[in-house]
Structure formats: structure tokens, C-alpha cells
Amino acid sequence: MTRKVLLVDDDAAVREALAQTLELADYDPVTAGSFVAAKDQIRADFPGVIVSDIRMPGRDGFHLLNYAHDMDPDLPVILLTGEGDIPMAVQAMGQGAFDFLEKPCAAADLLNVLERAFASRAQVLEHRALKHELERGDPAARMLFGLSAQAEALRERVRSVAPTGAEVLVTGPAGSGISKVAEVIHLMSPQGQGPFVKRPSSGMTADDLVGVCEDAAGGSLFLDEISAMPEATQYAALEMVEQGVGARILAGTTADLAALSSKGQFHADLFYRLDVMRVRIPSLAERPEDIPVIFRHYVAQAAEQAGIAEPEISSEHLASLMADSWPGNARSLMSAAMRFVLGMPEEVAQATDLGLVEQMARVERSLLIAALGRHNGKAADAAKALKLPRKTFYDKLARYQIRAEDYRR
């Protein structure tokens, strides 16, 4: 989300001073001297926050507040006054102002309120985007969460491979939701009305394979962690794929099948047949900006399952989640959401067994990725936003093995 702030004040000197303060803090201020000059800037999807004086000639800040909330009831409006009038502050908050500051306000106070307002706005816009996706009736949108470039690329990949009917190899780190992605592919495929049969490959015999193919007739057979399939069964699987069976074959693995096949530890011909269409799931460490979205979904889900009210999630808690690398990926984030809903102590590793240097490195990596995401993968813009020299920024990308192009939409 952009960091746009609409500044409305009839005093030009005040407008310019506030604008300079916001520019130094990496905000994008747009100024207006009256309600009339400001109203054309306000729309339902305004990607930022409004800061307005209350006492202005003609229509005042309360008119602007009401106009903004007619356009979008969730748009944060911060009102300023030089009167020090407590009843006016109460009135402003009662009419839905996000906060109220007395002029002249300290820069630190204004920036603190703005940070909270932008966090609130980001949550609202994220929820709206997800709701829009869900209303499209698209299984990829309903089941594969995230607003990052990587999340959207995953959804687009699923949408492209699903209708083909070809074999698909789904790869990703442990806990990333490989079977879930396979199910989405099934739902969006020509076999989507048939059964979705999921079976672990470990210990599967050739006879077992024949049986599960019959169970999945007319639908899809998902062979989970196919790297663990016994060698003899791999030969049977290759024969069945080549002959064609009555079910679409989907396979999943957390292992590097290409490396295993090159070492003779997995049937190379079976790998090539399954690798016709590959879908790779990015880890949470690659897309930390998706963690708040996914965590909120799991919290809502856990609260519903537990039959209790959904607890409020602070921006500080979300920030701490983004600072963790989540080696268990979505599965461990789901467990964290359940503990959060039940009021149990958080047990993420970064809080207990990591030194300060590693914790700071994780936070730094998350900030670099988040900046690239906000600036569409443009490294120069991200470096400027973080107030880093370009060389330093590129050195940090190399240190953390971050590729700017992965965050371009």
C-alpha cells in the first residue's frame, strides 16, 4: 500500500511544514487548502490517510470527515485543532475520526498516529481484497491466501495448469500446503466433479497403487511425498502414467526430485513424466508480507472452531510474526493461530533460542522484502524508501539471497 497522506489546512505555512515532516518520514503528502480542494482526492479506495484541520473557512473538518465516511466508512481521518477544545475532540471521535491532535502537534505524535492509521487501513484493504477474491467463486482465491506477488503468481500458475488434465508435480517446503494446492488444482480441473483421493507414497505397493487408481476413477489421485515411494512401485507408477488411467495423477514432494533422479535415488523417467507441469509453493520466509493475511484467516478459523469470539490482533504481534522465518510454514502458523486464540503462550523459536544478531537479521530481511513488495520489486525505489545507499541495499539483498525480480507484479 502507498503511504499517501491527504493534508487539508487553510494555513499554507502549516500545510508546508506538515508536508515536509511527512516527506522526511517517507510518506507521500498531497496538500489542499480547503474542503472543496480536497474532496476530489477522496474516493472509496483511497490508499492512505487524511489529516485535516477542523476550523477552516466554509466547510470545516467535520464536513470533510462526514464526506470521507460517506465515500468509505473505514477511511482513517485524523483531525487537528488549535483550540484545545476537549468537547470538540469528543465530538470528532464520536463522529468516527481515527484520532484527534492539538495544534501545534509534535512530529513524533503525528507520526505515531499515522503509523497506527496506516496499519488499520492496510488491514481493511487486505480484507476487502480477499472478500473480492472469494466472491469471484475462484477456488484458487478461496483457498490460497496472500496478497504478495508470489502468492498471486502461485494462484495464476494453478489456474493455468488445472484445466490441462496433465500430470502435475507440486513442490514446496514442509508445511507449505502441498496437498491443499493439489486439491485446488483438482477442483479447477475437468476432473473436479470426481473424487479427490489422497494417499501417502511411503510403503505403497504396486497393488495398492492399482487400488487407489480405481478409487480415484473419474477424479484425481494425489500421491503425497512421492520421493518416498518404493522403487518397485515407481516402475508400476511409470507404467500406469504411460498407459493412462481413469484418474488424473497429481504428485507432491518436499524433496528435490531432479537431484534424487540424477543420483539414481528416484526413477528418472517417472520424474520427467510427472514434471510435465510443475507448481512451486513459496515458503513464508520468501513472502513475509503474506503472514498477517494468512494468520488472520487462521485466527478466524480457529475462533470459529473453538466457539469463542475472535481476539483482536495487535500490529506489534503481527510484526513479531513477520520477523520469524517460520521453517514449518503454514502448518506452524496455523498452530500459532490456535494458541493465540486459546490464550496460550507463543512458542515461536525466534523468541527463545535465537541470539540478538540472528533475530535482528530476520527482522532486517523481512523489512527488505516488505520494501521490495511495496515498490513492485524496484530495488532503487525500495532502497530510497529504506534510506539506504544503493550499494548497501544490493549488498544486503545478496547477503539474504533476495531477488528483487521475484517481487515484481
pLDDT of residue 134 exceeding 50, the answer is: no
Q: Categorize the per-residue pLDDT at 230 as very low, low, confident or very high, splitting at 50, 70 and 90.
A: very high
Average the pLDDT over 84-89 and give the result.
Answer: 70
Name the 3-class secondary structure at 231.
helix
Tell me the C-alpha distance between 384 and 386, whole Å. 5
Q: Higher pLDDT residue, 158 or 2?
A: 158
- Give the pairing of strands 4-8 and 48-53: parallel
Q: Categorize the per-residue pLDDT at 351 as very low, low, confident or very high, splitting at 50, 70 and 90.
A: very low
Range with top average pLDDT, 134-148, 153-167, 358-372:
153-167
Q: Are 53 and 8 in contact (CB under 8 A)?
A: yes
pLDDT of residue 132 exceeding 90, the answer is: no
Instruction: Quick: pLDDT tens for 290-333.
Output: 998 899 989 988 888 777 888 888 877 887 888 888 888 998 99
pTM for this entry = 0.56
Please give the share of the chain, as a percent, with pLDDT higher than 90.
37
- The CATH number that domain 4-131 falls under is 3.40.50.2300
Please state which of the ranges 11-20, 69-78, 120-129 shows the lowest mean pLDDT: 120-129
Domain limits, the chain: 4-131, 140-282, 285-407
Closest among 243, 218, 223, 242 to 170, alpha carbons compared: 223
Average the pLDDT over 7-17 and give the result.
Answer: 90
CA distances from 232 to 124, 221, 223, 235, 334 (A): 53, 19, 15, 5, 36
Q: What are phi and psi of 281, to 5 degrees?
A: -95, 125
Average pLDDT score, the chain: 85
Instruction: Quick: pLDDT tens for 169-208.
Output: 999 999 999 999 999 999 889 998 889 999 999 999 999 9
**Residue 348, pLDDT score:** 43
Q: Categorize the per-residue pLDDT at 289 as very low, low, confident or very high, splitting at 50, 70 and 90.
A: confident
CATH 3.40.50.300 fits 140-282, yes or no: yes
Instruction: Quick: pLDDT tens for 13-64.
Output: 888 999 999 988 888 899 999 888 888 888 877 888 999 988 888 888 888 9
**Residue 362, pLDDT score:** 66
**Residue 372, pLDDT score:** 80
Tell me the C-alpha distance between 60 and 66, whole Å. 10
pLDDT of residue 353 exceeding 80, the answer is: no
pLDDT of residue 350 exceeding 50, the answer is: no
Fold agreement (4-131, 140-282): yes
pLDDT of residue 357 exceeding 90, the answer is: no
Q: Which residues contact 236 (CB under 8 A, 6 or more apart)?
A: 206, 209, 210
pLDDT of residue 130 exceeding 60, the answer is: no
- Give the pairing of strands 99-102 and 196-200: unpaired
Q: Are 291 and 322 in contact (CB under 8 A)?
A: yes
